[in-house]
Amino acid sequence: MEKTMTMTDTAVAFERLDTQPSLDWRFGLPVLATGDVVLREVRTSDASSLHSLLTTPEITRFISQPPTTVEGFERFIAASLRMRAAGEGACYAITIKGYDTAIGIFQVRQVAPCEDEARQIGGAMDVAEWGFALGSPFWGAGLFSQGASLVIAFAFEHLRVRRLEARCAARNARGNRALRKLGAVAEGILRKAFTVAGEQLDQVLYAILADEWRGRGACTSPAAALVH
C-alpha cells in the first residue's frame, strides 16, 4: 500500500526567509527534489508528454477541460511562464529522478496579492490556490504526495503565502483523500461550481494556513531539498 507522506515527514530544507535573502522566484523557478520526485518549471518541450498523459478520461472526469492539442499545451505553458514573470503564479512539471519527461503538473496561482509592502519584496502572495494533475500510469507510487509536500513548502516558504486553497470535485474520492492527508481542511461545499462534459459539479473548498502548517513542525524536516 502506498505510504502517504505528511507535511511533517517531508517539508523543508529551504533556507528560512527570516534569516536568508528571499528567493525572487519571478525570474525563474528553482528545482525542487525529494525522494523519487524532481519538480522543475514547465517548458514548451513538455507539451507533447503532458497532452498524452493529461487528456485521458481518468484525468479529465474531475477537472476543468485541459487543452485538447499539443499546441494548446504549448500556449498553456507560455501563459504559465508569463504569470510567473508577473508574480502571479508558478507551474511545475512533475518528473521522476533520473528522467526529465514531464508526467504531470502542479500549479499555484495568486488569488489575493500581498498588501504588506515589506512582504511584497520577492513576489510574496497573500492567498493562493493550487491545483495538480498526474498521469494515471503513475498513480499509487507515492509521487503525488512527495511532490505535493514540496509545492506546499515552496508556497509557504518562498511565495510566502498566508492561505493556500484547493478545490476538489466532491465526487473525487481519491483527490479529497489526498488533500486531507496533506493537512488541508475542508471548509465548505461550492455548489455547481464548475462544469465537466456538460454536467455541473459540486466542489469541496480546502485550505491550509501558513501558521498551522508551521505549527505542525512542517518546516523542520531535512527530507526536501532546494536544488537551485
List pLDDT tens digits, range 73-120. Answer: 999 999 999 999 999 999 999 999 999 999 999 999 999 887 765 455
What pLDDT, on the 0 to 100 scale, is given for residue 20? 41
Q: How many domains does the chain have?
A: 1
Q: What is the pLDDT of residues 34-75, one digit of tens each?
A: 999 999 999 999 999 999 999 999 898 888 888 999 999 999
pTM score, whole prediction? 0.83
Asked whether residue 3 is assigned to any structural domain, the reply reads no
Dihedrals phi, psi of 177, to nearest 5 degrees: -65, -40
Half-sphere exposure of 114 (CA within 13 A, CB side): 18
> What are residue 32's DSSP bridge partners?
39, 226
**All three cell numbers of 69:** 492539442
Dihedral pair phi/psi, residue 95, rounded to 5°: -130, 160
Evaluate whether residue 140 is within a structural domain. Answer: yes
- CATH code, 120: 3.40.630.30
Q: What range defines the domain where residue 111 resides? A: 8-226
Around 208, how many Cα atoms within 13 Å sit in the side-chain half-sphere? 26
